[in-house]
């Protein structure tokens, strides 16, 4: 049997802990009649399972023949990509032909004699969606790892118009907190503030324990220890399982390699994306013995106002959590020793 765990980002592993509540919330909101909500934004730290959640949602929608799923690349012309995807499906191209939509200008192979070609891509998409609406079809556009670039801004602005036109188009986007935040702060895209957001929480501890116990045929205490080692972080769940499988079930022997994988695949990138003040606060949290606000603030050297600002930033990024009042702790396993090592290296270099 092949290793059922994977360390490849975006790929749904064979051993996958689903998030049924979050999936169902998005599916229910998209399938409601009459239509009430047409957008969902999924955010979380790297490796938190955003892409897998989006894939699970679109897979559920695909079970209904009236749903059309279109995956778009945020680095390309997304309106053109949507029109091209819809026109390339024979069933729907016939619908557009019967609706006398001359799309020859865009090279889609749909030319209607006597009808002028549509030369505006936004108009073309709008007319295509109108035709699909008459056939009781709904279109879900899935966009992974959005950034605040021109392609995304143009598409989001057009999507807002489609919604006002009561067209059956839906949008699910994933992205890091900072990228979603920048997109929401565009003056022309303030409607995104009202969009429901799904923030990726840790995986269910019982579910992870059960999967580890079953896959490796180990007793519950050992499986629970493995689950605790991941702190519910999806990528860590996969990495520990992947390495343990290679070690024939001996999870204790892979601890050093486990930390190395987390650091090289994810933590180095997270650290690079933090500002100097973010790093100071992270250093204070790593040094803290109690996790209490006063101690962390003193160790990080931040005044109360700065501490409040950067605490909020790390919370929104999903790097820390504050489930207990007045305390902070990292959400990521083995992130504290990683931070201490990085700060020591930076001090040595300076």
Tens digits of residue pLDDT in 158-184: 999 999 999 999 999 999 988 988 888
Q: Which residue from 200, 199, 253, 239 is spatially nearest to 334, judged by alpha carbons?
A: 239
Closest Cα partner for 111 from 121, 97, 124? 97
Name residues whose C-beta falls within 8 Å of residue 27's C-beta, 6 or more positions apart in sequence.
Answer: 57, 60, 61
Q: How many other C-beta atoms are found inside a 10 Å radius of the C-beta of residue 261?
A: 20
Distance from C-alpha of 183 to C-alpha of 94, rounded to nearest angstrom: 36
pLDDT value of position 114: 56
At 112, the pLDDT band (50, 70, 90 cuts) reads low
The residue behind tokens 């305390």 is 327
Q: Please report the pLDDT score of residue 236 as a whole number.
A: 97
**pLDDT at residue 221, as a whole number:** 97
**Is the omega angle on the peptide bond into residue 21 within 30 degrees of 0, that is, cis?**
no
pLDDT(332) > 90 = yes
3-state secondary structure of 250: coil
Please check the confidence at residue 350 and state whether its pLDDT lies above 70. Answer: no
Partnered with residue 175 across adjacent β-strands are: 43
**Range of weakest confidence among 5-9, 23-27, 191-195, 256-260:** 191-195
Q: What is the mean pLDDT of residues 219-235?
A: 97
The DSSP element (H or E) to which 140 belongs, if any, is: strand 138-143
Threshold 0.75, pTM exceeds: yes
Q: How confident is the model at residue 217 (pLDDT cuts 50, 70, 90)?
A: very high
The continuous run of DSSP H or E covering 42 comes out as strand 39-43
Tokens of 207: 């579910």
- pLDDT mean over 145-161: 94
Q: Is the pLDDT reported for residue 186 higher than 70?
A: yes
Phi, psi of 113 (to 5 degrees): -60, 130
What pLDDT band is residue 111 in, cutting at 50, 70 and 90? low
| 6-20, 56-70, 296-310: least confidently modelled range | 6-20
The structure tokens listed for 235 are: 């990528």
Give the Cα separation of 312 and 306 in Å (integer). 10
Q: Please, are residues 22 and 41 in contact by the beta-carbon 8 Å criterion?
A: no
**Is it the case that residue 113 has pLDDT exceeding 60?**
no
Predicted local distance difference test score (pLDDT) of residue 181: 86
Whether the CB-CB separation of 153 and 111 falls below 8 Å is answered with no
- CA-based nearest residue to 281, from 300, 267, 294: 300
Q: Which residues, 6+ apart, have CB-to-CB distance to 260 below 8 Å? A: none
Task: Supply 159's token pair.
Answer: 């999507």
What would the two tokens of residue 72 be?
A: 């778009």
Q: What mean pLDDT is predicted for residues 37-66? A: 94
Sign of the four-CA dihedral 315, 318, 322, 327: negative
Task: Please report how the helices 205-216 and 234-246 are oriented relative to each other, as an axis angle in degrees rounded to 10.
Answer: 10
> What pLDDT score does 346 carry?
79
Among 3-12, 86-95, 162-171, the least confident range: 3-12
Residue 138 has pLDDT above 90, yes or no: yes
Per-residue pLDDT, averaged over 335-345, amounts to 93
pLDDT by residue (tens digit) across 260-317?
Answer: 999 999 999 999 999 999 999 999 999 999 999 999 999 999 999 999 999 999 998 8
Q: 348: pLDDT confidence band, cut at 50, 70 and 90?
A: confident
Q: What is the pLDDT of residue 239?
A: 97
Backbone angles phi, psi at 71, to 5 degrees: -100, 130
CA–CA gap between residue 149 and residue 74 (Å, rounded): 8
CA 216 to chain CA mean position, Å: 29
Tell me how far CA of residue 303 lies from CA of 180, 281, 293, 311, in angstroms: 28, 11, 11, 12
Domains in the chain (CATH in brackets) are 20-199 (3.40.50.300), 205-269 (no CATH), 274-349 (1.10.10.10)
Where residue 187 falls among pLDDT bands split at 50, 70, 90?
confident
Contact 317, 43 (CB under 8 A): no
């Amino acid at each position: 049997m092949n290793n059922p765990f994977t360390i490849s980002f975006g790929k749904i592993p064979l051993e996958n802990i689903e998030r049924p509540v979050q999936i169902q919330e998005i599916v229910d909101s998209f399938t409601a009649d009459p239509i009430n909500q047409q957008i969902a934004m999924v955010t979380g730290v790297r490796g938190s399972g955003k892409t897998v959640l989006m894939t699970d949602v679109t897979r559920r929608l695909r079970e209904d023949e009236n749903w059309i799923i279109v995956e778009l690349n945020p680095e390309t012309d997304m309106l053109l990509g949507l029109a091209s995807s819809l026109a390339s499906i024979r069933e729907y191209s016939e619908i557009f032909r019967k609706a006398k939509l001359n799309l020859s200008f865009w090279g889609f192979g749909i030319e209607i004699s006597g009808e002028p070609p549509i030369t505006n891509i936004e108009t073309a998409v709008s007319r295509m969606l109108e035709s699909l609406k008459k056939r009781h079809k709904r279109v879900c556009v899935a966009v992974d790892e959005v950034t605040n670039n021109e392609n995304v801004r143009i598409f989001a602005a057009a999507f807002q118009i489609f919604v006002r036109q009561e067209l059956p188009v839906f949008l699910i986007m994933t992205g890091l907190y900072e990228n979603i935040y920048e997109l929401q702060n565009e003056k022309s895209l303030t409607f995104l503030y009202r969009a429901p957001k799904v923030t990726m929480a840790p995986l269910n501890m019982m579910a992870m324990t059960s999967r580890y116990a079953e896959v490796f045929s180990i007793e519950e205490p050992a499986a629970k220890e493995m689950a605790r080692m991941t702190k519910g972080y999806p990528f860590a769940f996969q990495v520990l399982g992947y390495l343990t499988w290679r070690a024939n079930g001996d999870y204790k022997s892979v601890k050093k390699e486990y930390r190395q994988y987390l650091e090289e695949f994810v933590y180095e990138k997270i650290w690079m994306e933090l500002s100097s003040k973010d790093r100071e606060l992270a250093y204070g949290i790593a040094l803290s013995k109690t996790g209490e606000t006063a101690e962390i603030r003193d160790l990080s050297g931040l005044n109360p106002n700065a501490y409040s600002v950067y605490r909020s930033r790390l919370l929104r990024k999903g790097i820390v959590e504050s489930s207990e009042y007045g305390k902070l702790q990292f959400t990521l396993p083995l992130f504290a020793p990683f931070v201490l090592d990085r700060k020591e290296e930076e001090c040595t270099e300076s």
